[in-house]
Structure 1
């Protein structure tokens, strides 16, 4: 079955037009009809098992990586021109709504900022807990109670201890960078949390009123 898929995928690749070189790139955060087509084709071939919703989330990202791995493509979870062609989609027909250009899509500066916040807040915590802290930052950008940008969330007055005590400037560890990238790519071990705290050090009584979602390491993640 895999060999047959690879054959058709390769044939689709070699039959694409030269316009593929300037095709749009679809990655985490993208939305639109083209994402629906990506999900539909991957689901047909058994790479994608979730609902076809037109949102390039974590499950779509993992499915694209799996497809790339089985078809000799660069495994990065990004549906660029070669991956689109291999899936059987003509990249030159990409729709304008499919680009990952929403307000929550991150750049390298955002990755570094999230990594530094993780490093300052969760250094020494289990890796899952580090990713969860990054996820909380991203979850807040989509919540009307918080600023809509990553920098706005992180630097919101009094929001994070690492800003107050300067730990955001501590020497950064590799795990913090990896955790930031995993959070950006859609892994949310926090279960959608927008708050977390360490009960051993927190002096904020209000935070205890927030509904608990889960505990990871020393942190309680709450909604």
Structure 2
């Protein structure tokens, strides 16, 4: 019951932030949104706006770090950015990847770190909570509020579950956050109580699935389903999902346009979009299902940015290394 109540609170807050900060790529063509946020009680006007895409609110990493008083190192050779705070937390990530390393352990956050105009942007909540800062909301001004939180000191009668509930997290996440082997606590013990949701796979997975489904734009769903039907109408469902996954892989890669329509209608990419036949397609039930699954985060060909029929293009089949072959298509 507590988990359900927490997920309900998370969903409500996420929807509020989603609607107020901008609906992301789905509704706002991945444009910049608000440049204002509060750090504690101080109003900050960022030089670079927060950026919302795919339901995630991104912040310019270097500028955020400077305002919060954290430290940042960038390795130009590896492209790896590392952030640290005074509590000993260390967060590292690379643009183009959904993997982050927090205090030496690697996690998939479900949202890709991005580059925009040569600047690294990372999910605001992920960075803040990893650095033990809470993320709130000023309803009147419709802006986010970041607050660096102190450690919590355990008092008599405390349990990990009660502390987790009071700080809107879970006991599982707190155990991981503090490196605890059990739920036993000692009076006077200090705990980090701001825990990124990716530390609890159950909560993170359920929230990501629900948020992704909620954020799907019917117009984009139809467009992607039409492309799937045009390119893989006679293919099995897995082949349809793979075609949709290729489109999403491109959307999350900085080499391609940052809107779904931009990816699909990019010159010389998908022939049905180029020759005008795409608009006349009527997607099947399976094509709609595959498009919805891909838009919700399912991906059966990670790392694939293209596909082709090797019977029609045998030279390409010899030249390119396949990631997966499904039906009549090879995905590369």
Give the structure-2-normalised TM-score.
Answer: 0.41
Larger radius of gyration: 2
Structure 1 residues 149 and 21 mapped into 2: Cα distance closer, same or farther (>3 Å)? closer
Distance in 1 of aligned mates of 2:236 and 2:206:
26
Aligned to 1:123: 233
Cα distance, 1:24 vs structure 2? 3.0
Aligned to 2:255: 145
Structure 1 residues 163 and 132 mapped into 2: Cα distance closer, same or farther (>3 Å)? same
Cα distance, 1:191 vs structure 2? 2.3
Structure 1 residues 13 and 129 mapped into 2: Cα distance closer, same or farther (>3 Å)? closer
Specify which structure has the higher proportion of strand: 2
User: Unaligned stretches of 5+ in structure 2?
Assistant: 19-53, 57-122, 135-168, 175-194
Cα distance, 1:109 vs structure 2? 1.7
Aligned to 1:173: 284
Aligned to 1:112: 222
Aligned to 1:77: 210
Distance in 2 of aligned mates of 1:60 and 1:126:
32
Aligned to 2:319: 209
Distance in 1 of aligned mates of 2:312 and 2:239:
17
User: Unaligned stretches of 5+ in structure 1?
Assistant: 1-5, 46-51, 66-75, 80-99
Aligned to 2:206: 63
Partner secondary structure for residue 246 of structure 2: helix
Cα distance, 1:61 vs structure 2? 6.6
Residue-pair matches, total: 169
| Residue from 18, 31, 41 that aligns with 2:170 | 41
Q: 1:156 and 2:263 equivalent?
A: no
Report if aligned partners of 2:248, 2:295 keep a CA contact under 8 Å in 1. Answer: yes
Report if aligned partners of 1:42, 1:63 keep a CA contact under 8 Å in 2. Answer: no
Distance in 1 of aligned mates of 2:203 and 2:272:
33
Structure 1 residues 112 and 53 mapped into 2: Cα distance closer, same or farther (>3 Å)? farther
Partner secondary structure for residue 238 of structure 2: helix
Q: 1:184 and 2:295 equivalent?
A: yes
Q: Which structure has the higher relative contact order (CA within 8 Å, separation 6+)?
A: 1
Decide which moves more: 194-203 or 163-172.
163-172
Specify which structure has the higher proportion of helix: 1
Cα distance, 1:181 vs structure 2? 0.6
Deviations 1:160-190 (A, max 9, x none): 1322454422222111111111001111111
